[in-house]
Structure 1
Amino acid sequence: MRQTIVATTFLVGTAMPLQVQAQETDYPFTLTNCGVETTFDVAPDSAVTIGQSATEILYSLGLAPKVVGTSVWFNPVLPEYAEVNEGIERISDNDPSFESVVGKKPGLVAVQYEWHVGESGIVGTREMFRDVGIPTYILPADCDTKDNSTGGDGTRTGAFETDSVYKGIRELAAIFDVQAAGKELVAELQNTESDAVARAEALDLPDDLSAVFWFSSADLEIDPYVAGRLGAPGYMMAKLGIENVIESDEEWPTVGWESISRADPDVIVIAYMDRRRFPADDVEKKIAFLRTDPVASQMTAVREGRIVQMDAHAMSATMRSIYGLETLSDALSEMSFE
């Protein structure tokens, strides 16, 4: 399971510390982020985050003292940042207003989802922030290989890869001139990723192993939001040699339980979260539904008890997706498929 990130990382298979060479950012620093070119004359003196992933990356880079406000939370912050997070204002649990973000006068707004800050951003457009002198940065995991103009959660144009997470970490580290911290964090995450894959490969899992990821449902009586094949859950399944029974390229399509039951996945992964926007956000209600619904209860995964609970935030294309890969790998090691 997820371990606290330490200051010194190690190369896989060695006992030698990885020496991270500090590289200073050469200002003015210009980058193109999700199609928008932005120049920083100096490192931002403060930041507001819209999205838990952006918050946790900044914390992981040692930049918590610069974070003056956070928003859009699914679950509690990573344990090692609980204390520092208590001292930082939470502007909103969900979607903040444009005025509440601008009111903090941040040097940067770091964003997880383009639908919050984008061409049709529900918080505001990038142009709106630019017009008041505030630069924005959207995590590449939500725009690389993804078309957000399709509405909803967008459509993947290519499979999510963790390289987009590492790109976001490196670019934020460069913006704030903490590139050594960025290199250490990426190295730690890469080690976690490779260890999880190696653990699964050692299990000799069935070649035709299949799964479905259930995020939530607007109502338990209607079709659930399940993971398409190209998002973060698709990455996890591909890395571990698991077939996704959902073939859609949408990030979170709705699919009927009758169709899912006909596919009869070997494993069901369900999201747990603190958010309570929908009834099925509650993981206990998900479990109760699977065990009592006349259709869903007949699936092999339910009858055999192969239900995995996973951090909802890991099911989005975030840094936590790597910890989700670790969670799934660990869960598979406890299952029998005979």
Structure 2
Amino acid sequence: MKRLFAASALLVLQALPAAAQTNYPLTLTNCGVELTFDAAPDSAVTIGQSATEILYSLGLAPKVSGTSVWFNPVLPEFAEVNAGIERLADNDPSFESVVAKKPGLVAVQYEWHVGASGMVGTREMFHDVGVPTYILPADCDTKDNSTGGDGTRTGAFDTAHVYKGIRELAAIFDVADTGAQVIADLQATEAAAIDRARALDLPDDLSAVFWFSSADLELDPFVAGRLGAPGYMLDKLGIENAVETDEEWPTVGWESIARADPDLIVVAYMDRRRFPADDIEEKLKFLRNDPVASQMTAVREGRIVQMDAHAMSATLRSIHGLDALSQALADMAFE
């Protein structure tokens, strides 16, 4: 497997063009808004864990003056630098707390935090006080966020959207070489995960459902639609999504899920505790004891995969989620 990973990484690196220094002024269109940078921003505040981890991966932690919106602990390799950076809020920060840091850029994961009806503020509010905003393309490319809630995918999520965000942030901060290397490493992980699954010769009709959380365990769960990050993972591994909708995270009744009878269930674990079902132990207890859910093939056969909640969103962790699911499949038996 190490030889496969090394070979995949070499192929990716050979395919990458040499990165160039940024020529300012840099102009780009981000989620429908034109941005121009005369120089690399001298500081940044992040609204969303994925935006934070991308900036850290680009070696820009010294420029990050504040973070917010966390689901799980930061990736282990960034634990030390993250400990020294102010966390403005575990969940949604206030507009005032963000602009008080006087950032040269606000990097945003979700458009519903900073967008037309942003919970933190609109892009216009930030731009009016001289603070540019950059929203990760994974949350607006092939996605309509005007539908409310978590939005609706107009096309399938692809990791190209994650790589675009990394590449553009690297250009904004004039660290294109670092961005190219980060992308190469992620592409190598992606390729190795797909090759591993192909070697398993999985059944053609294998199906799965992704359970993120539930507002209450007595209510219908939030499960993954077919076009988001979980849909990308299943498509790459040759597995059908038991939930057929373009909504990002629809609620679907357990009776409907049980009728579909998925071969495996992927459940999210997270530190966030907005809802009782955010706790993975509550999820597992429900699956094993609910009279409907407990009768599903995946539960009876013990084919329940635990996955980092942030990997289920359209983030760089989605590649790690693909890898984790590929490895979990290697340990399962299917009739």
Change (3 A) 1:28 1:14: closer
Q: Secondary structure at the match of 1:137?
A: strand
Q: CA deviation at 1:22?
A: 4.4
Partner of 1:12: 8
For residues 158 and 273 of structure 1, the distance between their equivalents in structure 2, rounded to whole angstroms, comes to 27
Whole-Å Cα distance in 2 between the matches of residues 56 and 292 of structure 1?
37
Q: Tell me the distance in 2 between the aligned counterparts of 1:158 and 1:51.
A: 23
Distance in structure 1 (CA, Å) of the matches to 2:9 and 2:17:
18
Which residue of 2 is the match for residue 123 of structure 1? 120
Equivalent residue runs for 1:125-204 within 5 Å: 125-204=122-201
Task: Quote the Cα distance in structure 1 between the aligned partners of 2:51 and 2:212.
Answer: 20
Gaps in structure 1 of 5+ consecutive residues: 4-8
* 1:284 lines up with 2:288 in the alignment: no
Q: Which amino acid aligns with 1:118?
A: G
Q: Deviations 1:132-157 (Å, cap 9, x if unpaired)?
A: 00000000000000000000000000
Size of the aligned set, in residue pairs, is 332
Cα displacement string for residues 287-334 of structure 1 (whole angstroms, at most 9, x for unaligned residues): 000000000000000000000000000000000000000010000000
Displacement of 1:23 in angstroms is: 1.1
CA-to-partner distance for each residue in 1:138-179, whole Å, 9 max, x for gaps? 000000000000000000000000000000000000000000
Aligned mates of 1:132, 1:42 — CA distance in 2: 18
Alignment of structure 1 residues 1-338 onto 2, 5 Å? 12=8, 21-338=18-335
Paired residue secondary structure (1:49): strand
Q: In structure 2, do the counterparts of structure 1 residues 52 and 187 end up closer, same or farther at CA, with 3 Å as the change threshold?
A: same
Partners of 1:237 and 1:40 lie apart in 2 by 38
Q: Secondary structure at the match of 2:326?
A: helix
Preserved contact between residue 66 and residue 88 of structure 2 (Cα < 8 Å): yes
Distance 2:192 2:274 in 1: 35
Structure with the larger helix share: 2
How far the C-alpha of 1:21 sits from its partner, in A, is 3.5
**Is the Cα contact below 8 Å between 2:12 and 2:184 reproduced in 1?**
no
Q: Which residue does 1:6 correspond to in 2?
A: none
Give distance in 2, aligned partners of 1:241 and 1:250.
21
For 2:168 and 2:17, how far apart are their aligned partners in 1? Answer: 16
Q: SS where residue 104 of structure 1 aligns?
A: coil
SS in 2 for 1:207: coil
Q: Deviations over 1:197-244 (max 9, x none)?
A: 000000010000000000000000010000000000000000000000
Rounded to whole Å, the distance in 2 between the matches of 1:143 and 1:162 is 13
Counterpart CA distance in 2 for 1:22 and 1:238 is: 31
Q: Secondary structure at the match of 2:314?
A: coil
With over 3 angstroms needed to count, the CA separation of the structure-2 counterparts of 1:115 and 1:294, relative to structure 1, is same
Contact kept? 1:10, 1:17, Cα under 8 Å: no
| Matched residue type, 1:331 | A
Identity across matched positions, percent: 79
AA of the residue aligned to 2:53: E
Structure 1 Cα separation of the partners of residues 268 and 202 of structure 2: 23
Q: Which runs of 5+ in 2 are unaligned?
A: none
> CA separation in 2, counterparts of 1:16 and 1:258?
44
- Please say if residues 212 and 309 of structure 2, whose CA atoms lie closer than 8 Å, have aligned partners that are also in contact: yes
> TM-score of the superposition, structure 1-length normalised?
0.96
Give 2:213's aligned amino acid: S
Alpha-carbon offset, residue 12 of structure 1: 2.0
> Contact 1:52–1:74 at 8 Å: present in 2 too?
yes
| More displaced stretch, 17-26 vs 192-201 | 17-26
Distance in 1 (alpha carbons) for counterparts of 2:52 and 2:99:
17
